[in-house]
């Protein structure tokens, strides 16, 4: 994954932010919408694209476009930096392959010990019963 080429493929759109702020909110477009077209990215390999499609399935649109919004601050530039940082962290964390699980089984001693304790508990419970008078 090449970060520089990824950043070149990002498109930004400034939108009016919602919420408190008075007249300033109605005049300034400080909210940032970051979009990244996963399908047509040249920075990612085919394997990376397929991995990201499966892991980011809930965050992608129907056209496999990742959209990130940021309206945390009043500054458009700061919101842009925050959105870029979020985007890079999302991509990096979701490109990590999980470790393959190695199948294990209990040792013979552990199996023997488990069966012995089961038998002891069974005998203890059998001794609690009232004797049958046949």
pLDDT by residue (tens digit) across 72-129? 888 899 999 999 999 999 999 999 988 999 999 999 999 999 999 999 999 999 999 9
Give the ranges where 1-134 is alpha helix by DSSP (H): 3-8, 23-27, 46-55, 76-94, 108-128
Average pLDDT over residues 33-53: 91
Quick check: helix, strand or coil at residue 15?
strand
pLDDT of res. 17? 81
H-helix or E-strand containing 31? strand 31-37
pTM over 0.85: no
DSSP-assigned letter for residue 13: E
Q: What is the pLDDT of residues 59-74, one digit of tens each?
A: 999 998 999 999 888 8
């Amino acid at each position: 994954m090449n970060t520089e080429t990824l950043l070149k493929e990002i498109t930004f759109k400034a939108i009016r932010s919602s919420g408190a702020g008075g007249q300033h909110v109605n005049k300034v477009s400080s909210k940032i919408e970051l979009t990244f077209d996963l399908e047509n990215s040249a920075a990612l390999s085919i394997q990376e694209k397929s991995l990201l499609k499966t892991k980011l399935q809930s965050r992608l649109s129907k056209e496999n476009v990742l959209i990130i919004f940021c309206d945390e601050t009043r500054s458009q530039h700061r919101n842009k930096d925050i959105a870029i940082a979020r985007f890079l962290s999302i991509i990096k964390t979701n490109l990590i392959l999980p470790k393959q699980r190695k199948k294990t089984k209990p040792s013979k001693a552990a199996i023997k010990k488990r069966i012995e304790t089961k038998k002891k508990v069974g005998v203890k419970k059998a001794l609690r019963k009232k004797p049958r008078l046949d």
